[in-house]
A and B are shown apart, each in its own frame.
Chain A
Amino acid sequence: MKETLGAYDYWPWENRPKITWPGGARVAFWVAPNVEYYELDPPANPQRKPWPTPHPSVPGFSIRDYGNRVGHARQMALLDKYGIRGSVSLSVALCEHHPEIIEMCRERDWEFFSHGIYNTRYTYGMSEAQEREMIRDGIETIQRHTGQACAGYLAPALSHSEHTLDLFAEVGQELFGEEGGIYTCDLFHDDQPTPIRLRSGRRFVSVPYSLEMNDTIVYAVNKVEPRHYLTMLKRHFDRLYAEGAESGTVMCIPTHNYQISCPHRIKAFEEALEYITGHSDVWVATGREIARHYLEHHHDDALHDIQAKAAAAGRS
C-alpha cells in the first residue's frame, strides 16, 4: 500500500494558467446520471458486502430497481426540458438487462461512460489481469450497444485498485486510440480538470464529478432535506460561476434515478437545472466534451505550470 496516490502533484488553486471554455463560458456544467444495475444475489467479495442484510435484500434492491422502472424517464424528461445531454455513468450489464433505456439515451445523443459491469461487483481483491478484463468488458459492451468509444470511467461502486486509472487508459487506448479512455471521474481533489500521471505516460485527465453534489451522498449518506439540496446546488454553482469569470470551472451534478426522481425530490432538481441553465455563460457539456477540450487547449499548459511550480518548490 502507498502513502500517497501519486497520480497528481500538489497544485494550488491560485495563479494557475487560465482555462477558457467554448463561447467564453465561466462554468462547464454537466449532469452525470448513474444508470445502474445492482444484482439481487451477487457473489461475495472478500472486502465489501454488496447488501447490508441476507439476500434477497429486498429494500435495497427494490429501490434501485425503482430508479430504472420509474425514475429514469422522469429524470430524462427534465434533462430534455433544459436542453441537457446526460453523461451516463453506466453499469454496462444494463445494456443487456434494460436496452430500452440505452436506446432512449442513444436517441438523444447522450454520452455513455463505464461504471463497471454491475454496481455489485467490486474491484477489491482482483488481480491486475482480472481488473483489466472487467474494464475491457465495460468498454467493449458500450461500443457494441451504443457505437461509442468509451472515454470516461467511474469505477463500480467507487471500488478501486492502485492501477485502476492506468488500466482504464491502457485498455481504452488499445481499443480506440486517442478517442478511448481519456478521463476519470474517480478523483475529487479539484474544481477544474487536472492532468493525471499514468505509468504509460499517456495524456489523461481528471474531470471533476463531485461527491459533494452527488444526490446519493447528499440524500442517503448526509441525510439532507430535498429543499436544502436545492440551496446547496445553487450555492455551489454561484461560487463556481463567480470564480469562473477569472478562469473556467467545472460543475457536475451526479445523479441516481432512484434518488433524484422520487416525487418528493424532483422539484428541487428541476429548480436547480432551471437556475443553472438560466445563466447565459454556462457551457452545458458532457464529460467527454470537457475532457477533450481540456486535452486540446489546456492540458499541456497546466502540466508545464505544475512542473515549473514543483521545480521552484524543490529549489527553495
Chain B
Amino acid sequence: MSSNDRSLPADYLAYPWRRHGYDHDRYAWSMLTERPPVQWPGGRSLAVWVNVSLQFYPLNQRGVPFKVPNGMAMPYPDLRHYSLRDYGNRVGIFRLLQAFERFGVRPTWAINAQLAEQTPYLMERLKAFGGEFICHGWNMDHLHTGGQDRDEEAAIVRRSVDTLRALTGQPVRGWLSPAKHQSWHTPELLAENGIDYCCDWVNDELPYAFATEAGELAMMPLTTEIEDQFVMCQNLHSEDAWVDQVKDAFDFLVEESRREGGRLLSLNLHPWLVGQPHRIACLEEVLAHITDHEAVWQAPAGEILDAFRASQQEVR
C-alpha cells in the first residue's frame, strides 16, 4: 500500500482549541517572571516545603488502568515489593522523624487514607510530632483517571477525605493524587469536598488559581523531577547524585529568589526509599543544606499557601 492510499480523519488536522492561553479552561496562562514578586514571612526569599508521602501499596494490586509506579511488579503475591513499601511505614518513617527533629523540619504528611486507618500508632506519633496532614487518596491502587465512573470516583474522594479528617482532627485542606494522576472530574470532586489546594500539576514553582465547576482550588505544584523516587527509582541515579541535585536546585533557587522575588522549593520524600539505612544520611545531608540558611522559610504546605495569598494581597 502506498502512502497515497491512506489518510487520517479530517479532524486530525483541525485544531478547535488553537487560541490564546490553553487548550482547556482550568487556569490562566502566565509566566513566572511576569508576576508580582512574592514575600515570605520574616523577609525570607525561599520557602521550603518538605513533603512526606506515606503510602499503602495493596498486595492484590489491580493495576487498572495502569500499574502505579513503584507498585507490585511480579506475579501475585509480590511479597518483595509489598513488604519493601511497607518497610517505609514501619521503619523508614522513624528515621525521617529523627532527622526532622534534628533539623527542626515542619513537615507535610501526605498519607493514603487507608494507611491512616490501618496504623493508629503511626498516626498518633505523627500528630504528636506536628506538621500538616494532606490527603494522598485512598491507597496507591485507587488511581484517578479519565474514563473512570464519576460516582465511583466521588465515593473514593469523599471516603478518603472524611477518613483522614476524622483520624487527624485537622481540616485537611490539601490533596495529592496517587501518582499525581487525575480524571477530568478530580478537581471538581476535590472542591466539592472542601479541599483548598491540590499538589498534582507540576507546571509551576509557585501556587496559582485553578478553576473547577465547584469553585476555585489553589494548585501547589509538588515538583516531581527532584523527588527521591523520581531521581533514584525512575532515573536510577545514586543517592549521592540525588544529594547533588537537591543542593544544586536549592542553591539556584536561593540566588534567583534574591534577585527576582520569593521562590518555593518543594521536596517530596518516600520513607520506603530514603528511610533505608544506607540512604538516611543522604537525607540528613540534604536537610542540613536546605534548612540552616538565612534565606529559608521552612513551613508546611498550607502555611506556605496562606503566606503566598497574604503576599499577593499586599501587592494589590
Docked CA distance A31–B22 (Å) = 27
What are 25 A-B pairs with beta-carbon distances under 8 A?
A: A40-B22, A52-B66, A53-B145, A58-B181, A61-B203, A62-B200, A65-B22, A65-B201, A66-B203, A66-B205, A70-B31, A96-B18, A96-B20, A97-B21, A100-B34, A125-B12, A130-B8, A130-B13, A226-B248, A263-B205, A263-B252, A264-B226, A264-B245, A264-B252, A267-B248
Q: A1-41: which residues lie under 8 A (CB-CB) from chain B?
A: 37, 39-41
Contact A73 B32 (CB under 8 A): yes
Contact indicator per residue, chain A 144-168, by CB within 8 Å of chain B (1) or not (0): 0000000000000000011100000
Given the known A-B contacts A63-B202, A130-B12, are A264 and B19 also in contact in the complex, defined by CB atoms under 8 Å?
A: no
Contact indicator per residue, chain A 50-76, by CB within 8 Å of chain B (1) or not (0): 001111111101111110111011000
- Contact of A125 (CB < 8 Å), options: B4, B6, B17, B182: B6
A316: CB under 8 A from chain B? no
**B interface size (C-beta, 8 A):** 62
Contact B65 A53 (CB under 8 A): yes
- Contact of A68 (CB < 8 Å), options: B31, B221, B252, B253: B31
Docked CA distance A225–B3 (Å) = 41
Given the known A-B contacts A73-B33, A100-B31, A127-B3, are A134 and B13 also in contact in the complex, defined by CB atoms under 8 Å?
A: yes
**A interface size (C-beta, 8 A):** 59
B24: CB under 8 A from chain A? yes
Given the known A-B contacts A58-B181, A66-B204, are A263 and B249 also in contact in the complex, defined by CB atoms under 8 Å?
A: yes
Contact B15 A118 (CB under 8 A): yes
A279: CB under 8 A from chain B? no
The 8 residue pairs across chains A and B that have the minimum distance between CB atoms: A127-B7, A263-B249, A264-B249, A65-B203, A54-B146, A264-B245, A62-B203, A62-B201
The prevalent SS among residues of B at the interface is loop
- Contact of B202 (CB < 8 Å), options: A59, A100, A118, A266: A59
Residue numbers of B with Cβ under 8 A of A are: 3-4, 6-9, 11-13, 15, 17-24, 29-34, 65-66, 145-147, 177, 179-184, 200-205, 221, 224-226, 234-237, 241, 244-246, 248-253, 256, 265
Residues of B within 8 A of A43 (CB): 9, 11-12
